[in-house]
Structure 1
């Protein structure tokens, strides 16, 4: 049998003596069966339908309701309000600007404190130290908890009379004890530390996965060129993790702007813990609900979330396309 004929024999099969080998038609594309098309349609259609029903439809309805006055009960009592709800939130609603400032502070704190802590943990655990898997589980444990439960756990830590922190400071049960969640001058910082406990573990896991995916030859080449560990990481390894960095930037922005559970568990987002997400709930739920104002706040929060994310992604992918 010639080499050309051998190339046409399917792998793992041999031609029987006296019978020609079966030839494979090159360039033939297998057509999808009806069952394949059904499976593909279901895999694409069901998630798309879920997104439309539970994400985009409520979003569009919130945008529409932000231009109306409605008590939330009588559908026949919906009246047009134009831009009045937006004017009210930005000019006549006292908690709005403090909440905006707290959200920006939350973003800066997560970006400059929580994310570097997660990166540091990932770098340390990437050194193949003994018990690395145990440490990973310990640091990732808070990520599996809801933010509401995180708030309850940290309430036990921050309690004025019986909290662990005041006990360690030796002020528990004394007039000098700090009310970490009740004092409006310090409770925002205490809440951000609680959020960092959870966010750092998530960042650690993402960066740890990114470090495992970096080509070892890059580090070897940097070592041969005389780079130290610091230079190797920040000039070679860290830039190689650009996809992970993009994900973490987006997650950090989203986490800082949608922060709600921790502050709502503490004091329902009042007394120094005003956040935009808490204001949305305060206006959409309860006896004093103002659907139009709550929807307007939700739209403002959506725009603030999308603008930095879209700007960052467009610049990042724009640079990659030019390169």
Structure 2
């Protein structure tokens, strides 16, 4: 039996308005000369900026660390070998106290500042009223310059007119503490000021990490009978491993490059010496010695590379495994 189909239906199927046209195969556009120019410009400009502002000064600092130069006359530019590094490690009376202060700075931020930021993030991640306002308040110090933060805390710690001594009732009396003038306490006072800013920064990073945790993991743990503390330390915190690595690296780098607050307080002297402040002291301070200053800078660079290399190896190592 022959199946006869009306002519009109056949035409509609082949070319009528109600027919579905055959899918067109996609074609790759050829790589033109204009594309090559645009791509070259987009790659060359950032590379040139990084080369001029980062790599050339870095290489120049390493080279200058093997010379002696007062930064003024070319006649004073003389090879020094490793004598600048010998001065840093054996003859500088400020280096090892500065290293100790830098280590204390790192430990304080790691033990106090970073956990405080995590605590704020966990609290503000809850469905509480006004959470956005609290986040803005705690993040506000991050948006201020570190120099301005030093000025604010100078007003807070002032011996006679400061808020802290007024609250303690010692302002204007012999019992008033010079929080930034006493070498026994000024480092801790500066660390509180630095933590005020650091914890807000860490809070925002951890808030982003908490938002990325799969809620079904927490729900499954709750159904199994886990309490809030167990859910956080056994489920949520391990799930934020990439965020934790970033925060560890940021905390180390923030400690190594700490400079602004201590310089605003008392030009990083009288108990506030840091390795970063010694770099500035010898590079632009009175009686500047460029070679020694760059030697301090190279030492700080080598130490800073350790957490950076660790972070990059972890990041790209996981990417290669995937």
TM-score (normalised: structure 2): 0.90
Matched, 1:281 2:285: no
Matches within 5 A, 1:137-286: 137-286=136-285
CA distance in 2, matches of 1:198, 1:71: 36
Q: Relative to structure 1, is the Cα distance of residues 20 and 139 closer, same or farther in structure 2, using a 3 angstrom cutoff?
A: closer
Question: Which residue number in structure 1 is paired with residue 128 of structure 2?
Answer: 129
Task: Work out whether residues 246 and 311 of structure 2, in 8 Å CA contact, stay in contact via their aligned partners in 1.
Answer: no
Question: Which residue number in structure 2 is paired with residue 24 of structure 1?
Answer: 24
Task: Work out whether residues 68 and 292 of structure 1, in 8 Å CA contact, stay in contact via their aligned partners in 2.
Answer: yes
Task: Work out whether residues 68 and 77 of structure 2, in 8 Å CA contact, stay in contact via their aligned partners in 1.
Answer: yes
Residue by residue over 1:124-174, the C-alpha shift from the partner in whole angstroms, topping out at 9 and shown as x without a partner, is 010021001100100000000111011000000000000000011110000
Q: How many residues align?
A: 309
Residue by residue over 1:69-105, the C-alpha shift from the partner in whole angstroms, topping out at 9 and shown as x without a partner, is 1111233542111110000011111010000000011
Question: Which residue number in structure 1 is paired with residue 6 of structure 2?
Answer: none
Q: Please state whether the residue corresponding to 1:172 is helix, strand or coil.
A: coil
Q: Please state how far the C-alpha of 1:43 moved relative to its aligned partner.
A: 3.3
Question: Which residue number in structure 2 is paired with residue 11 of structure 1?
Answer: none
Question: Which residue number in structure 2 is paired with residue 45 of structure 1?
Answer: 44
Q: Please state how far the C-alpha of 1:213 moved relative to its aligned partner.
A: 1.2
Task: Work out whether residues 109 and 255 of structure 2, in 8 Å CA contact, stay in contact via their aligned partners in 1.
Answer: yes
Segment drifting more, 33-42 vs 195-204: 33-42
Q: Relative to structure 1, is the Cα distance of residues 222 and 321 closer, same or farther in structure 2, using a 3 angstrom cutoff?
A: farther
Q: Please state how far the C-alpha of 1:46 moved relative to its aligned partner.
A: 2.0
Q: Relative to structure 1, is the Cα distance of residues 187 and 127 closer, same or farther in structure 2, using a 3 angstrom cutoff?
A: same
Task: Work out whether residues 253 and 309 of structure 1, in 8 Å CA contact, stay in contact via their aligned partners in 2.
Answer: no
Q: Please state whether the residue corresponding to 1:314 is helix, strand or coil.
A: helix
TM-score (normalised: structure 1): 0.89
CA distance in 2, matches of 1:19, 1:218: 48
Segment drifting more, 71-80 vs 90-99: 71-80
Larger of the two Rg values belongs to structure: 2
Segment drifting more, 77-86 vs 292-301: 77-86
Q: Please state whether the residue corresponding to 1:227 is helix, strand or coil.
A: coil
Residue by residue over 1:227-251, the C-alpha shift from the partner in whole angstroms, topping out at 9 and shown as x without a partner, is 1111111111111112211211111
Task: Work out whether residues 141 and 149 of structure 2, in 8 Å CA contact, stay in contact via their aligned partners in 1.
Answer: yes
Task: Work out whether residues 117 and 203 of structure 2, in 8 Å CA contact, stay in contact via their aligned partners in 1.
Answer: yes
Provide structure 1 residue ranges, at least 5 long, that are not aligned to the other structure.
Answer: 1-14
Q: Please state how far the C-alpha of 1:39 moved relative to its aligned partner.
A: 4.0
Segment drifting more, 280-289 vs 187-196: 280-289
Segment drifting more, 311-320 vs 188-197: 311-320
RMSD (Å), alpha carbons: 2.2
